[in-house]
């Protein structure tokens, strides 16, 4: 299964100059944990709810901060046609929970998360369990 099929394709985005107040409102209204920062359609950063919490505790004037001030730059990306196993590798290699999905032109096409990976693994394990039960009628977990 390609990475592009795992997560949502309707990604919440903002510009570098978006204020943290607007980012916080977007996180709340869209019920998401991260906003992807883009230049045109290319992802250049990501701001998470954790980034906002840290900014509140470390800044003297949070109202003056923008996405550019707190975003994680050069976010981890995977091509939309890469296999799902690459998501697991990318999460492990980079220590992040969210991976951005891009097309061959590096334009944002989706986002996949650790939660998407776990849900996919769960579905696959359920399919395997069904196969075992069909092939081994005497088997009972």
The yes-or-no verdict on residue 140 having pLDDT over 70 is no
The pTM of this model reads 0.84
Residue 52 · residue 23 · CB < 8 Å: yes
**The pLDDT value given to residue 12:** 97
| Strand partners of residue 14 | 37
CA distance 16 to 71: 9
**The pLDDT value given to residue 141:** 62
At 111-138, the pLDDT tens digits run 998 888 888 778 777 777 777 777 777 7
**The pLDDT value given to residue 110:** 94
The yes-or-no verdict on residue 139 having pLDDT over 70 is no
CA angle 64, 73, 36 (to 5 degrees): 75
Alpha helices in 39-109 (DSSP H): 49-58, 67-70, 85-94
CA distance 63 to 117: 35
At 18-65, the pLDDT tens digits run 999 999 999 999 999 999 999 999 999 999 999 999 998 988 888 889
At 64-116, the pLDDT tens digits run 899 999 999 999 999 999 998 899 899 999 999 999 999 999 999 999 988 88
**The pLDDT value given to residue 46:** 97
């Amino acid at each position: 299964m390609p990475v592009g099929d795992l997560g949502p394709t309707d990604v919440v985005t903002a510009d570098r100059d978006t204020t943290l107040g607007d980012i916080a409102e977007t996180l709340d209204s869209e019920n998401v944990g991260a906003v992807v920062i883009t230049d045109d359609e290319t992802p250049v950063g990501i701001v998470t709810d954790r980034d906002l919490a840290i900014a509140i505790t470390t800044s003297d004037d949070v109202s003056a901060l923008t996405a550019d001030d707190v975003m994680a730059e050069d976010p981890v990306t995977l091509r939309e046609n890469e296999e799902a196993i690459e998501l697991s590798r990318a999460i492990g290699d980079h220590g992040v929970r969210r991976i951005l999905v891009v097309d061959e032109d590096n334009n944002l096409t989706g986002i996949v998360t650790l939660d998407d990976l776990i849900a996919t693994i769960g579905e696959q394990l359920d399919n395997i369990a069904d196969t075992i039960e069909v092939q081994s009628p005497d088997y009972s977990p």
